[in-house]
Structures are given as C-alpha cells and as structure tokens.
Structure 1
Amino acid sequence: MSPRSYRMGQRQAEVDETRARIVAAARAQLADTGALSLDAVARRADVARATVYYQFGSKTGLLEAVCDALAAQGGMARLAEAFTPADPWAAVDRFVEVMGGFWAVDPLCTRRLRALAALDEEVGRVVADRDARRREGAAVLAARLPAAPADAARLLFVLTAFETYDGLARAADGDLLGAVPVIGRLVRAALGGTAG
C-alpha cells in the first residue's frame, strides 16, 4: 500500500468518525431538548458549525442522516423480508415486527423528532417523507390481504405508527417491543385476519 493510499484511508476514517459524532450529537440534542440547532449540535460534537454544513449540507441533510442512523440501528434493512412471504398475513406480521424493532431503537429521540415535526416545517418534511414510505409499504401489503376492508392500507399505516407503539408501551411497561404482539392482534382484528 502506498503512503498516499494509507493517508486517504485514514482521512476517510476520520471523516466517517466526525460524521458519526455529529449524528450522535444531533440525536442527543433532540432527546435532551426536543430541538435541533445546528450551532448546538456543532458544540456538542466539538466541531465547527461549518463542519456540520460541510458534512450534511443543511439541517435537512442532518435530519436525514439522523433518520438513516435510527433506521440502520433499528434493522429497517429487514423490512424487505415483509414483502417476501407467500402468506399475506405472515407478511403483515413481519411488517409489524420490523416496525416495532425500528421504533424501539431510541423512543425518546423519535418522540421528540416527531413532536418537532409538528412545529418545524423542515423537520415535518423529513418525517412526512419517511412516513410516506411506510404508507406505500402498508398499501402493498394490504392489497394482498383476502377480503380486507376498503381502508385496510390506512388502518395498517396508523396501527404501525410510532405513536401507536409508544402509546401502548406507555400504558404498559414502557417496552415498545412488548407492544408488537398487541399491535399484531389489533392489525389482524382490524383487517379481517385471525389471531396470529
């Protein structure tokens, strides 16, 4: 390996580490304050504000990176598995399970992010774009269900929302993953399936 290749690899590792530190700072800032100030994130990450802009381009870019980090940690890559079972109810069950795992990654950060979306248009767009993807997935799965009600896609979308998992978890022991079986039963009852 040439010295230049080594330096380039080392530089990339430093860039990746800085990027990860900024995303972690943004998550912590959201969880602690319910707000997202690029100045505050830069201070928390111990970088210049210009570094945040260089890495992410804008507040929206940083928000996207935060959502991507939550998705990666929450196993959203496994969501594709929900669309492969031949049995449509097994597919729906998998969708409910994967969404539960995702929502359980950092409930406080997610709660604050979604609350901020109602107050900040930029945050609202990022959250709405992510929700639109879940809505599309719910529509695909609902269309496969035999004798499902006409509003099956909307019901599946609402029942797999963070707020549904969070509300059920808060009413019980606070464990979002513990809400998965309950939501699975709700989904089957609402969409015409039998208890799973």
Structure 2
Amino acid sequence: MSPRSYRMGQRQAEVDETRARIVAAARAQLTESGALSLDAVARRADVARATVYYQYKSRTGLLEALCDALAAEGGMTRLAEAFGHPDPWAAVDRFVEVMAAFWSVDPACTRRLRALGALDEEVGRVIAERDARRRHGASVLAGRLPDAPPDAASLLYILTSFETFDALASETPPTTPEGSSPEPLEAAVPSVIRIARAALGAPAG
C-alpha cells in the first residue's frame, strides 16, 4: 500500500469514527431528554458544532443517520427474506418478525423519537417517510394474499407499528419456552402474527 493510500484510509477511518460518535451522541441525547439539539449533540460527541453540520448538513441529515443506524442494528436488510418468500403467509410472518427485531433495538430511543415527531415538524417528516416505506411493504405483501380483505394493507401496516408492539409487549411475559429472555418487543411477535393472520383471512390450521 502506498503512503498516500494509507493516509487516505486512515482519514476515512477517522471520519467514520467521528460520524459514529456523533450518531451515538444523538441517540443518547434523544433517549435521555426527548430532544435533539445539534449543540448538545456536539458537546456530547466532543466535536465542534461545525463538525456536526459538515458531516450531516442539517438536523434532518442527522436524524436520517440515526434512523439508518437503528435500521442497520435491527437487521432491516432481512426484509428481503419476507418479500422473497414464496408462501405469502410465511412472508407476512417474516415481515412481522423483522419489524419486531427492528423496534426492539432501542425501544426507549424509538419511543422518544416518535413522540418528538408528533410535536416537531422536522422530526415528523423523517418519521413519516420511514413509515411510508413500511406502508409500501405492507401493501406489497397484502397484495399477495388470497382473498384478503380490502383493508389488508392498512391492517398489516398498523399491526407492524412500533406502537402495536410496544402495547402488546407490555402484556406479554418476557420469557420463551427455552427459558431465555427475548427483547421485550420481540416477545409480542406470536400475538402480532396471530392477530395479523386472523385479520387478514389466513386459512385455519
């Protein structure tokens, strides 16, 4: 490796580390305070405010990066398994499981983020755009179901929301048959699948 290539690789590693530290700071600040101030994020990440702007251009850019980090940690790339499954009902089940894993990454942060979205227009736009992707996915999967009700896509969209998992998980014992403890929101998966299948007209048995 040439010295120039080495220096470029080193600089990129430093940039990546700085970006990760900023996103982690944003996640921590949002979880703790329910707010997202670029000044506070910069102080927490131990960088200049200008560095946050340089890396993310705007508060919206930082919000997008935070959502992307949560999605990566939550394994959202596994949605391809749902859309690629030949059995439409198994595809719905997998969709529910992947969404549960995503929502379970950091429920406290997600709860704060979605609450802030109801009050802050900028945050609300980011949340709405992400929700629109899930609505589209629900529509695609619902369209594959035989004899599904007309509102199947809307039902699947609602049932795979954070709010649904959050509500059902609070009523679900946090243990599995093997004795392990799943993430709290993932404990609601069997309930969501059961409700989804009943609402969408799955065949008995």
Partner of residue 91, structure 1: 91
Is 1:186 matched with 2:198? no
Is 1:176 matched with 2:185? yes
Is 1:138 matched with 2:138? yes
Query: Take 1:15 and 1:186, find their aligned partners in 2: how far apart are those partners?
Result: 45
Query: Take 1:154 and 1:49, find their aligned partners in 2: how far apart are those partners?
Result: 41
Partner of residue 153, structure 2: 153
Alpha-carbon distance, 1:173 to partner: 4.4
Alpha-carbon distance, 1:137 to partner: 0.3
Query: Which structure 1 segments of 5+ residues have no match?
Result: none
SS in 2 for 1:138: helix
Alpha-carbon distance, 1:172 to partner: 3.0
- CA-based RMSD of the aligned residues comes to 1.1
- Residue deviations 1:13-61 (CA, integer Å, cap 9, x gap): 0000000000000000110001000000000000000000000000000
Partner of residue 12, structure 1: 12
What is the letter of the counterpart of residue 188 of structure 2? A
Query: Take 2:71 and 2:151, find their aligned partners in 1: how far apart are those partners?
Result: 27
Alpha-carbon distance, 1:171 to partner: 2.5
Query: Take 2:23 and 2:202, find their aligned partners in 1: how far apart are those partners?
Result: 40
SS in 1 for 2:86: coil
What is the letter of the counterpart of residue 38 of structure 1? L
What is the letter of the counterpart of residue 192 of structure 2? I
Distance 1:102 1:195, change over 3 A: farther
The answer (yes or no) to whether the contact 1:93–1:184 under 8 Å persists in 2 is yes
Distance 1:41 1:195, change over 3 A: farther
Query: Take 2:129 and 2:135, find their aligned partners in 1: how far apart are those partners?
Result: 10
Query: Which structure 2 segments of 5+ residues have no match?
Result: 175-183
What is the letter of the counterpart of residue 198 of structure 2? A
Q: How many residues align?
A: 196
The answer (yes or no) to whether the contact 1:185–1:195 under 8 Å persists in 2 is no
Alpha-carbon distance, 1:195 to partner: 6.3
Query: Take 1:39 and 1:134, find their aligned partners in 2: how far apart are those partners?
Result: 32
The answer (yes or no) to whether the contact 1:188–1:195 under 8 Å persists in 2 is no
Alpha-carbon distance, 1:194 to partner: 4.1
Aligned ranges 1:33-182 → 2 under 5 Å: 33-173=33-173, 175-182=184-191
SS in 2 for 1:171: coil
Please give the TM-score of this superposition, normalised by the length of structure 1: 0.97
Please give the TM-score of this superposition, normalised by the length of structure 2: 0.93
Query: Take 1:117 and 1:107, find their aligned partners in 2: how far apart are those partners?
Result: 15
- Residue deviations 1:56-94 (CA, integer Å, cap 9, x gap): 000000000000000000000000111111110011001
Query: Take 2:27 and 2:202, find their aligned partners in 1: how far apart are those partners?
Result: 38
Query: Take 1:194 and 1:39, find their aligned partners in 2: how far apart are those partners?
Result: 55
Query: Take 2:99 and 2:65, find their aligned partners in 1: how far apart are those partners?
Result: 19
